[in-house]
């Protein structure tokens, strides 16, 4: 992207991930006509899509659901029960509503306590702390859960807050409980940590479980 922008020559159409489009806004042609037609047919976009796809008053990218993923906890049920006492099958029984008491107790404080117990048990939480999407997704969720906005809608840096300090203090306690290589993990590393039997939970789509069921049935 950067090379084509400098050369002022290249592909007519490119796929951009998350905020990459706004970084090249001055080099992109407006696509209001395309987006307007999509909105007319399907309704308005999400606030996130609008924030990432528009520059000033015009669209620079067409929002798409391609590549979107849900990345909830994907955990070893046996190890969670063994080390933390949490029975995931009771928390979310198959074909029945969630157990509200279990669900209400699933907090970031519980998460930290469970991470410590699993770390001491030899099966740390497989939480990436690098710069890849899997890391950014769950770390961003942690900030959002505490009402932290690192940058506001106007693009102003708003990192200095009590909530930010609270989250950073949480991470000071949590990160030492993760695998030491987690700071350099890519998006496959957490999956491998779970499937190879080295970690208790990860934050990922169920695809990790599907691969484990195929390649490591004892883990699945």
Does the pTM surpass 0.85? The reply is no
Report the pLDDT value the prediction gives residue 18, as an integer from 0 to 100.
72
What are the contacts of 65-70 at 24+ separation with CB within 8 A? 66/15, 67/17, 69/137, 69/205, 70/205
The answer to whether 170 touches 112, Cβ cutoff 8 Å, is: yes
Q: What is the DSSP string of 148-172?
A: --SB-TTS-B---SHHHHHHHHHHH
Model confidence at 67, in pLDDT bands (50, 70, 90)?
A: low
pLDDT value at 113 more than 90: yes
Please, which residues bridge with residue 75 across strands?
A: 201
Considering only 21-25, 35-39, 120-124, which range has the smallest mean pLDDT? 21-25
Radius of gyration of the chain (CA): 21
pLDDT value at 91 more than 70: yes
Q: Which domains does the chain have, with CATH numbers?
A: 2-59 (no CATH), 73-215 (3.40.190.10)
> pLDDT higher for 33 or 19?
33
């Amino acid at each position: 992207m950067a090379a084509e922008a400098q050369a002022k020559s290249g592909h007519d159409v490119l796929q951009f991930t998350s905020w990459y489009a706004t970084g090249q806004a001055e080099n992109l042609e407006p696509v209001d006509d395309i987006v307007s037609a999509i909105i007319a047919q399907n309704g308005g976009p999400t606030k996130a899509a609008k924030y990432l796809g528009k520059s000033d008053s015009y669209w620079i990218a067409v929002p798409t659901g391609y590549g979107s993923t849900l990345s909830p906890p994907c955990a070893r049920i046996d190890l969670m029960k063994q080390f933390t006492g949490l029975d995931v099958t009771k928390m979310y029984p198959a074909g029945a509503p969630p157990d509200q008491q279990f669900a209400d107790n699933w907090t970031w404080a519980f998460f930290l306590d469970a991470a410590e117990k699993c770390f001491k048990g030899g099966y740390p939480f497989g939480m990436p702390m690098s710069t890849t999407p899997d890391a950014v997704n769950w770390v961003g969720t942690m900030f959002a859960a505490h009402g932290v906005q690192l940058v506001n809608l106007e693009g102003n840096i708003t990192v200095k807050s009590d909530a930010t300090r609270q989250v950073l203090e949480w991470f000071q306690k949590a990160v030492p409980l993760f695998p030491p290589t987690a700071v350099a993990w890519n998006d496959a590393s957490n999956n491998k940590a779970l499937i190879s039997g080295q970690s208790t939970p990860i934050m990922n789509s169920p695809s990790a479980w599907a691969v484990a069921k195929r390649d490591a049935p004892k883990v699945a």
